[in-house]
Amino acid sequence: MCGIVGYIGKQVAIPILVEGLKKLEYRGYDSAGVAVLDTEGISVSKSVGKLVALEEEIGENFSQSCIGIGHTRWATHGRPSQVNAHPHGDCGQDFVVVHNGIIENYLELKDQLLEKGHHFASETDTEVLAHLVEDAYAGDLEAAVRKVLEVIHGSFAIVVLSRKDPDKLVAARKDSPMVVGLGTGEFFVASDITAILNHTRKVYILDDGEMVVLTEAGVNISDFAGNPRVKEIMDVKWDAVAAEKGGYEHFMLKEIHEQPRALRDTMLGRLEEERVVLQEVDLTPEELAQINKVYIVACGTAWHAGLVGKTLIERWAHLPVEVDIASEFRYRSPLIDEHTLVVVVSQSGETADTLAALREAKNRGARVIAVTNVVGSTVSREAHDVIFTWAGPEIAVASTKAYTTQLEGMVLLGLYLAQVKRTLSSAKIREIIGDLKKVPAQVQEILDQESILRDLAKSFVDVEDTFFLGRSLDWAVAMEGALKMKEISYIHAEAYAAGELKHGTLALVTEQTPVLALATQRDVFDKTVSNIKEVKARDAKVFGLTYKGNTSLAKSVDQVIYVPETRDELAPLLTVIPLQLLAYYVSVARGCDVDKPRNLAKSVTVE
């Protein structure tokens, strides 16, 4: 991840590549690079940090080549560094590759290539692609790339440049976006329309499983097997700002819709049929046997993910878990020693309070696992073990895809601990993994019906207060739903464990107070319905959220929102999606600044 741009034509390539990469800066990145092909071979320039550093690296006397590729990187495999930046080359620098996504089986492929004598320079999964092309090349770059596509697993958008086939670029995509721009005697390839909008508004949108060969004469699109594909040209009418948002009105909505991809990426390479593979975590059965308590420490949305993690770890791994707000954790003298496992959760990996809690835990001898979205962040460097969430950059202040991938990280950790401790059978783990793999498609199913939430938002536009209710894992998600509502719509929203209503909260419920009640947890469903009836008795309008097929809830609420059926432990991954959409559409209807709510910042780096 994160941004790709390629060019072939009659203009000098480097200014076009750098300009395109600048248009992709909004996506976030930690390093960047370009590669061009001239008479002396392939010339690669790479740097860490912002594009101004790359421009300094390139210098003023740059190559006049008319073909090249560029990339801005959001680190996944390997820390941010010049050597890990894209493009990546093979042993002889005959082939270079840029890549968005994750190659799931890169370690297996790397071992095979090492046995054949290949030498690797970086820590990345992407470098494997360049060596695979080198290994497969027999005089035809297109054929070599097709052979590579047969053996790699995962998500990818790739572009290949070769000095052995100097007049073409070859690109392919699976589960990662890619567009082809059409000019006059010049052609472009990019991960985002934004990168090429200054040069052309006529594009092909590649679909999964498609490959394109670009030359000065034109473009040829086929499937991975070589069968030609006929595509319709899309005439882009968006302005530059809309293009950054992929045509969505706001970054938040775009990021809500990116969640199926983010969830797929986060589980890539980590799920086998009956086991979870977390290469970044190395807890032996003997070490885990010494652990007698778990703390999950986080702030805000990440803390809500931790509340879900508590239930999963206790239920699956049979370990007692406490969930702490990081800003309180180190000031209450927590009982931590070498028998404690501390899990810190932070989207940015730089949250000041969470980082302070991590250091306090380490000073007291605890084992620390970090769950974070940013490779190379302080939290990821200082923790003993890391579970990276592959959400990609998140621009909107209100977290959406970072939260759901944190939830998935908690699922993976809970299963991993149960696997090591042998508290779940292989058959049970297989069942859960099977259900987890269905989640991205189920999230998409909810997104396809977002008009229901857009209409529902009308019931919240003019209210001043609203409540979110639930029990067990539904309560944890209710807290996240309330946070989303309050932070972007400025409506006072509170979440309560449904059984606590009678202990004071019912005094605030009136017919002007809409209530959203989550009811997916089967073991407490009847009790949740009883609590809903208490609210209805106070004339509140109640909106219920439950699984498809559950017709009984409709008898107790004014309207039901349905999500696909899954096992209760995975329900938070689905039930939060309608709550995100509801908060978004209420905020839009109230005329709020969705992406930049007042008084808030994306990353909280002070106490």
Is residue 251 within 8 A of residue 488, CB to CB? The reply is: no
Per DSSP, what are the bridge partners of residue 45?
34
The backbone region for 300, taken as left when phi is positive above 0, alpha when psi lies in -120 to 50, beta otherwise, is left
Q: Which of 2, 66, 110, 245 is catalytic?
A: 2
What span, in angstroms and rounded, lies between the C-alpha atoms of 366 and 133?
A: 45
SS3 readout for 265-306 = HHHCCCECCCCECCCCCCCCHHHHHCCCEEEEEECHHHHHHH
Nearest residue to 575 (alpha-carbon basis) of 505, 492, 495, 461? 495
pLDDT of residue 458: 93
Token pair, residue 543, equals 């909106």
Instruction: Catalogue the E-assigned strands of 2-65.
Output: 2-8, 31-38, 41-48
Q: Is 2 a catalytic residue?
A: yes
pLDDT of residue 606: 42
Token pair, residue 352, equals 């000041």
Interacting residues of 498 by C-beta distance below 8 A, sequence separation 6+: 469, 470, 471, 474, 475, 517, 527, 528, 531, 532
pLDDT of residue 305: 97
pLDDT of residue 260: 96
Q: Which residues of the chain have pLDDT under 70?
A: 1, 503-504, 507, 601-607
Interacting residues of 203 by C-beta distance below 8 A, sequence separation 6+: 179, 180, 181, 182, 193, 196, 233, 234, 236
Helix/strand number for the chain, H first, E second? 19, 24
Residue positions counted in the chain? 607
The 8-class DSSP code of residue 228 comes to B
Q: Is 602 a catalytic residue?
A: yes
Query: At residue 227, what is the residue type?
Result: N
For residue range 206-259, list pLDDT tens digits in order. 988 999 999 999 999 999 999 999 999 988 877 777 777 888 999 999 999 999
Q: CA quadruple 384, 387, 393, 396: dihedral positive or negative?
A: negative
Q: Which of 164, 527, 596, 602 is catalytic?
A: 602
